[in-house]
A = this chain, B = another copy of it.
Amino acid sequence: MSAYTLADLVARFGGEVRGEPQTLVSQVASLASATADQIAFLSNLKYRDQLAASRAGALIVGATMADASTKPRIVAADPYVYFAKVSTLFNPPWRDEPGVQSGAVVHPSAQLGADVRIAPNAVIGRDVTIGARSVIGAGSVIGAGTVIGEDALIYANVTIYHGCVIGDRIILHSGCVIGADGFGLAQEAGRWIKIPQIGRVVIGDDVEVGANTTIDRGALDDTVIRDGVKLDNQIQVAHNVHIGEHTAIAACTGIAGSAHIGAHCTIGGAAMIFGHIDIADRVNISTNTLITKSLSKAATYTSALPFSEHSAWLKNAVQMRHLDSMAKRLSALEKQMDATEKKNE
């Protein structure tokens, strides 16, 4: 692991050093666990106690916290972004040796770019194309005709079905499934007839997909994930969904078929999005929120139910089934009150 001085870091990433610029650091760490050769970051003065106790050798701080410590420090416009860059410098993505490893099965028609790594027991199908320096993890399976860009990092036990298109610098975590059939069924005489799913999944550049997330192929046209989208774990993306550039979606969210989600949205964990709706750019959706219709305005939307102790919840929840009746009784009372007041005038 190489070490850098604060002066080195500022030369690369900007910001300003306070204290000794020759302070050497070789790793990032949290305030609580950092040692003298590590650099921590402080984003919020509520962590002042941790700061006081920290043995970090240096800090990254924002302008408003520039004097919160006398440790050697870098003052940065956005300390979290700065920290991300320093951490990426200290922790570059690991690349094992390239080449087709033991037990991997690569169809003779597949085209592998320079320095591609096919890890042990991965399976590469007919007519697959994989761009330079990409890594296919152990046990991963790439279906026939799929095209993967350059510098892709596909972890172990990922599955990509046939005919998909994946961009450059993509990261796919283990257990994610790209291109399975969408849930397309027609009903005839009480039985379900399968609709062949003949669209693809098309994923742009710089996309990250979390562990065990599923992105279904389109029914006729494609499911489309634009550049820079970040998907957490266990997200379900149904057929023909479109997700706009740089939208980030937290874990356990489900998006039903043909929903179109704008760019630069953030969607909280376990949100559910109805199918066939349009969501504008820069919409924020809260955790556990169900979106049932199109949203044309950039705002934050919520439908989570507040929790209580169970005994209190029991008493309140039963009234949810009487809200319509309560509303009518309230209106009736208002009318009676008006009448009473008129009579009393």
Query: Assuming the A-B contacts A121-B139, A155-B180, A333-B334, are A221 and B30 also in contact, with contact meaning beta carbons closer than 8 angstroms in the complex?
Result: yes
Count copies of this chain in the complex. 3
Contacts of A301 in B (CB 8 A): 307-310, 313
Give chain A's interface residue range (CB within 8 Å of chain B): 35 or more
Query: Assuming the A-B contacts A157-B159, A177-B211, A214-B233, are A304 and B292 also in contact, with contact meaning beta carbons closer than 8 angstroms in the complex?
Result: yes
User: Distance in Å from the Cβ of A89 to the closest Cβ of chain B?
Assistant: 9
A186 located at the interface, meaning its Cβ lies under 8 Å from any Cβ of chain B in the complex: yes
A175 located at the interface, meaning its Cβ lies under 8 Å from any Cβ of chain B in the complex: yes
Q: Are A230 and B84 in contact, CB atoms less than 8 angstroms apart?
A: no
A2 located at the interface, meaning its Cβ lies under 8 Å from any Cβ of chain B in the complex: no
A105 located at the interface, meaning its Cβ lies under 8 Å from any Cβ of chain B in the complex: yes
A69 located at the interface, meaning its Cβ lies under 8 Å from any Cβ of chain B in the complex: no
What 5 pairs between A and B have smallest CB-CB spacing? A303-B307, A319-B323, A141-B156, A315-B324, A159-B174
Contacts from A to B (Cβ < 8 Å)? 27-30, 32-33, 78, 80-81, 83-85, 87-88, 90-91, 94, 101-103, 105, 119-121, 123, 125, 137-141, 143, 155-157, 159, 161-162, 171, 173-175, 177, 180-181, 183, 185-188, 190-196, 198, 208, 210-212, 214, 216, 220-221, 228, 230, 232-234, 236, 238, 246, 248, 250-252, 254, 256, 264, 269-270, 272, 274, 284, 286-292, 299-310, 312-324, 326-327, 329-330, 333-334, 336-337, 340-341, 343-344
